[in-house]
Structure 1
Amino acid sequence: MHLEKLNTNTNIVKVLKDLDVDAGGINILSAKSQMHLILVKDLHVGAANILKQDALSVGADLAVPRGTVLAKTPRVDCLLIATKSQMQKLSKKELAQPFGLKELAKKLSEIINVKKSKDVEIMGVINANDDSFFSGSRFSEVDAVTKIERMIEDGAKIIDIGGVSSAPNSQIVGVEEELKRVEGIYKLIYEHKLYEKVKFSADTYEPEVAKRAVESGFNIINDITGLQNDELCKIIASYDAQAVLMHMQGNPQTMQQNPKYESVLDDVYKFFKVRIQKAESFGVKDIILDVGIGFGKTLEHNISLIKNLEHFLTLEKPLLVGASRKSMINKIYPCEVDERLAGSLEIHMEAVRNGASVIRVHDVKEHAQALAVHTALNF
Structure 2
Amino acid sequence: MTINCKGQLIDVSTPKVMGILNVTPNSFFDGGKYKNENEILSQVEKMLIDGATFIDLGAYSSKPSAEFVSEQEEISRIIPAIDLILKHFPETILSIDTFRSEVAKASIENGAAIINDIAAGNLDDKMFEVIAKYNVPYIMMHMRGNPQTMQKLTNYEDIVKEMLFYFSELIAKARSFGINDLIIDPGFGFAKTIEQNYEVFQKMELFKMLELPLLIGISRKSMIYKSLNTNVEKALNGTTVLNTLALTKGAKILRVHDVKEAMECVTLFNKINL
Picking from 18, 23, 26, the partner of 1:123 is 18
Deviation, 1:299, is 1.6
> What amino acid is the match of 1:127?
N
Taking the aligned partners of 2:153 and 2:84, their CA distance within structure 1 comes to 41
Deviation, 1:140, is 2.3
> What amino acid is the match of 1:285?
N
Deviation, 1:137, is 7.8
Kindly indicate whether residue 134 of structure 2 is the aligned counterpart of residue 239 of structure 1: yes
1:262-297 deviation digits (Å, cap 9, x = unpaired): 111100000001111111112211100000000011
1:161-187 deviation digits (Å, cap 9, x = unpaired): 000000001101110111111121111
Kindly indicate whether residue 128 of structure 2 is the aligned counterpart of residue 225 of structure 1: no
Count residues in correspondence.
Answer: 261
Kindly indicate whether residue 74 of structure 2 is the aligned counterpart of residue 178 of structure 1: yes
Deviation, 1:146, is 2.2
Kindly indicate whether residue 215 of structure 2 is the aligned counterpart of residue 312 of structure 1: no
Picking from 33, 36, 54, the partner of 1:158 is 54
Contact 2:64 2:150 in 1 (8 A): yes
Q: 1:304 to 1:137 in 2, by over 3 A?
A: farther
TM-score normalised by the chain length of structure 1: 0.66
Picking from 31, 43, 60, the partner of 1:147 is 43
Taking the aligned partners of 1:173 and 1:136, their CA distance within structure 2 comes to 14
Q: Which has the larger radius of gyration?
A: 1
1:57-91 deviation digits (Å, cap 9, x = unpaired): xxxxxxxxxxxxxxxxxxxxxxxxxxxxxxxxxxx
1:221-261 deviation digits (Å, cap 9, x = unpaired): 00000122332111111111000000002221121126111
> What amino acid is the match of 1:238?
K
Counterpart position of 1:372: 267
Kindly indicate whether residue 218 of structure 2 is the aligned counterpart of residue 323 of structure 1: yes
Contact 1:310 1:354 in 2 (8 A): yes
Picking from 81, 93, 109, the partner of 1:215 is 109
Picking from 145, 151, 160, the partner of 1:256 is 151
| Fraction of identical pairs, as percent | 39
Equivalent position SS for 2:143: coil
Contact 1:141 1:184 in 2 (8 A): no
Counterpart position of 1:341: 236
Q: 1:137 to 1:277 in 2, by over 3 A?
A: farther
Structural RMSD (CA) = 1.6
In the TM superposition, what are the counterparts of 1:1-379 in structure 2 within 5 Å? 119-135=14-30, 138-143=33-38, 144-192=40-88, 194-196=89-91, 198-228=92-122, 229-257=124-152, 259-379=154-274
Taking the aligned partners of 1:347 and 1:378, their CA distance within structure 2 comes to 17
Taking the aligned partners of 1:260 and 1:330, their CA distance within structure 2 comes to 23
Contact 1:227 1:279 in 2 (8 A): no
Structure 1, 140-149 or 279-288: larger mean CA deviation: 140-149
Taking the aligned partners of 1:224 and 1:306, their CA distance within structure 2 comes to 18
1:15-48 deviation digits (Å, cap 9, x = unpaired): xxxxxxxxxxxxxxxxxxxxxxxxxxxxxxxxxx
Contact 1:205 1:227 in 2 (8 A): yes
Counterpart position of 1:88: none
Where relative contact order (Cα < 8 A, 6+ residues apart) is larger, the structure is 2
Q: 1:279 to 1:344 in 2, by over 3 A?
A: same
Which structure 1 residue ranges, 4+ long, deviate > 6 Å from structure 2? none
Deviation, 1:370, is 2.3
Equivalent position SS for 1:285: coil
Unaligned segments of structure 1, at least 5 residues: 1-116
Taking the aligned partners of 2:42 and 2:205, their CA distance within structure 1 comes to 37
Contact 1:126 1:138 in 2 (8 A): no
Unaligned segments of structure 2, at least 5 residues: 1-11
